[in-house]
Amino acid sequence: MRSKGFTLLEMMMAVSILAIVGLLGLIVISSSAESAELAQAKAEVQAGLRDVMAAIMDAVREAYTDRTVAVSPPRSPVNVESIQTSESNDRITFHVPVRVAGTAIVRGSTPITIQFENEDANGNALLDSGEDLNGDGTLNRRVLRMQDGQTQVLGASNNISNLRFELQPNQNARDNLLTSLYVWLEASRRYGPGMKHLVRAELAAVIDLKN
């Protein structure tokens, strides 16, 4: 007659089953936590992209174009040039109307430049040796607005990894004047333990320039 209790083999089997179940539970928890971190990181990157795009649209929407500058006689104020993109397509320079106090007449602003600042030389979204060009201890990847020697950061994101501007004809107009601005933004950031994971997102828009 068998005595009460468990044999060593039964105990080992029970411990093994418990270990397997525990391991599976840890895998599920770890996977869920990683998915949550990914979702949060992606949401933050996408929100930053929308914030920067909105700031660019607000800054450039009234830029003068050939619609008013290149016509004869010009309908734009004197000393105003059409919006221009750089050869690398990561910078634009333009003028906007400035209302003159006490009258309904406007003048052209001083030149405004919007450009991409990127200290991430190797594109890994990490601050590596020699990349901190301004010595502020931060990897700067952002969009700047510059006018009259003053620099302003557009939007709250410092995760911008690429930016491209392209002047295009307005598809709703019958002429071929470059009165629309295509803007493409990409952002990336590291997340998770050791910052070993990288998430990317992109956003594009076409802005109809009013002038």
Span 75-110, pLDDT tens digits: 888 889 999 999 999 999 999 999 887 665 888 999
Span 31-53, pLDDT tens digits: 656 677 778 888 899 999 999 99
DSSP class per residue in 100-136: PTTSS-EEEPPPEEEEEEE--TTSSSS--TT--TTSS
More confident residue, 91 or 134: 91
* Distance, CA of 95 to CA of 98 (rounded, Å): 9
Span 49-70, pLDDT tens digits: 999 999 999 999 999 999 999 8
Confidence of residue 22 (pLDDT cuts 50, 70, 90): low
Confidence of residue 131 (pLDDT cuts 50, 70, 90): confident
Instruction: Please give the pLDDT value at position 50.
Output: 94
Answer for the pair 69, 82: CB distance below 8 angstroms, yes or no.
yes
Cα distances from 19 to residues 6, 162, 188, in angstroms, run 18, 47, 38
* Distance, CA of 174 to CA of 34 (rounded, Å): 52
Instruction: Please give the pLDDT value at position 32.
Output: 59
Mean pLDDT, the chain, rounded, equals 86
Average pLDDT over residues 144-148: 96
Instruction: Please give the pLDDT value at position 5.
Output: 59
Name the one residue in this structure whose structure tokens are 């071929």.
176
Span 160-169, pLDDT tens digits: 999 999 999 9
Answer for the pair 96, 83: CB distance below 8 angstroms, yes or no.
no
Instruction: Please give the pLDDT value at position 28.
Output: 61
* Distance, CA of 91 to CA of 154 (rounded, Å): 13
Q: Which pTM value belongs to this model?
A: 0.81
Confidence of residue 134 (pLDDT cuts 50, 70, 90): confident
